Amino acid sequence: LAVSDRISRLIPYQPGKPIDEVKRELGIVGDVIKLASNENPLGPSPAGIAALQTVLPTLALYPDGACHTLRLAVAKKHGVSPDSLIFGNGSDEVIHLLGLTFLEPGDEIIVGDPTFVLYEAAATLAGATTVKVPLTPGDLRHDAAAMAAACTEKTRLVFVANPHNPTGSVISKADVETLLAALPPRAFLVLDEAYAEYVEDDPSLPRALDYLAAGAPVICLRTFSKLYGLAGFRVGYAVAAPDVIALLNQGRSPFNVNLAGQVAATAALTDTEFIARSKQNNDEGIAQLIAGFQRLGLSWVPTRANFIVVDTGRPAKAMFDALLKQGIIVRAFPKDLPTHLRVTIGTPEQNARFLEALEACLS
């Protein structure tokens, strides 16, 4: 079929393998653990789940297309006006809306390389070009000076995930300022804070909302898929100036955020016990994995997110397959990171099992 280049050039997103598929493919009967998609290993927010009791009797009705209750709760949490928010079927959908709204053929976006693949997908769908700026060698951080130098009058969106996926690294306030200073008129810096809840207590790190409050051309992306443990419900959002949000809203499909997701997300926002427990599990899990990597003589990329990249010194695909045979699903990016694996921080038991399997694969 002849279709536009925008579609034919797209490579469908390849998510982490689902547990059931791995069991079927490899004939594994025992436990399989998935540490591949940066999900919360403690499960969903209990308050979010409890709130779902109210949902079943109203399932015959469309959800609130404006996400009114969730909107007010998120606005209160961030201290922003409700019209500074747009919700999506995951922040994935908001990224697509950014492309649909702000990009045209001939426009450019600037991203780190490697980075989260959906930025490029959104640009390709809009017929725009993705300018990829390599991460710094060795420590795999965004090279803000090189990204700033890549800005031209064609640049419309500069995407920085902070903390970054797939590396877990963070950028500095000075880096954000470098990027903002380089933006041409009509361009935005998209700070994708999918993992920001894990570093919210660190005042030394740049916060998209502070730049937004100061009137900078920033769009902040957030999600309920990570710390809040609600990836299955697909709820994400953007915070931006109300005129930016109004434009994004024009291309949004009417009932894009499902009813259960809205209810669970609203309750999860104030589930303080679960939030604290999830952060603690993450901090302790990072320390546990780093201790294991040290013992195995492996190097890793310092992380501030809920995953860590380890350099196994062996071909990434072979290591991925070997771990899979032991019932552990991780993530490999062989083209970009030939000897690295990205592993989600699990429970203490999952981390221990991963380290044991890793050791076995290395010997």
Which residues are at the interface with ligand PMP (CB under 6 A)? Answer: 38, 90-92, 116, 161, 165, 192, 194, 223, 225, 231, 236
Compute the distance between CA of residue 245 and CA of residue 250 in angstroms, rounded to an integer. Answer: 9
CB of 145 to ligand PMP, least distance (A): 22
Of 220 and 357, nearer to ligand PMP (C-beta) is 220
CB of 293 to ligand PMP, least distance (A): 22
Instruction: Report the residue number whose CB is nearest to ligand PMP.
Output: 90
Of 194 and 239, nearer to ligand PMP (C-beta) is 194
Of 15 and 27, nearer to ligand PMP (C-beta) is 15
CB of 356 to ligand PMP, least distance (A): 26
Compute the distance between CA of residue 296 and CA of residue 167 in angstroms, rounded to an integer. Answer: 20
CB of 220 to ligand PMP, least distance (A): 12
CB of 319 to ligand PMP, least distance (A): 21
- Judged on CB neighbours under 10 Å (0-12, 13-18, 19+), 265 is buried
Compute the distance between CA of residue 95 and CA of residue 130 in angstroms, rounded to an integer. Answer: 14
CB of 236 to ligand PMP, least distance (A): 3
Asked if residue 350 lies in contact with residue 328, where contact means CB atoms within 8 angstroms, the answer is no
Compute the distance between CA of residue 38 and CA of residue 346 in angstroms, rounded to an integer. Answer: 9
Of 92 and 108, nearer to ligand PMP (C-beta) is 92
Of 274 and 292, nearer to ligand PMP (C-beta) is 274
Q: Among residues 90, 113, 95, which one has the least CA distance to residue 37?
A: 90
Q: Going edge to edge, which strands form the sheet with 129-134?
A: 85-88, 236-239, 218-223, 188-192, 155-161, 108-113, 129-134
CB of 38 to ligand PMP, least distance (A): 6
Of 93 and 107, nearer to ligand PMP (C-beta) is 93
- As beta bridge partners, residue 221 has 192, 238
Of 123 and 231, nearer to ligand PMP (C-beta) is 231
Compute the distance between CA of residue 209 and CA of residue 240 in angstroms, rounded to an integer. Answer: 8
CB of 160 to ligand PMP, least distance (A): 10
What would the two tokens of residue 47 be?
Answer: 């308050």
Of 89 and 155, nearer to ligand PMP (C-beta) is 89
Q: Among residues 105, 66, 103, 106, which one has the least CA distance to residue 88?
A: 66
Alpha helices in the chain (DSSP H): 5-8, 19-26, 46-51, 68-78, 91-102, 118-125, 144-150, 173-182, 208-213, 242-250, 259-268, 272-296, 316-325, 348-362
Quickly list DSSP for 306-346: SEEEEE-SS-HHHHHHHHHHTTEE-EE-TTTSTTEEEEE--
- Judged on CB neighbours under 10 Å (0-12, 13-18, 19+), 352 is middle
Compute the distance between CA of residue 189 and CA of residue 197 in angstroms, rounded to an integer. Answer: 19
Of 168 and 285, nearer to ligand PMP (C-beta) is 168
CB of 296 to ligand PMP, least distance (A): 26
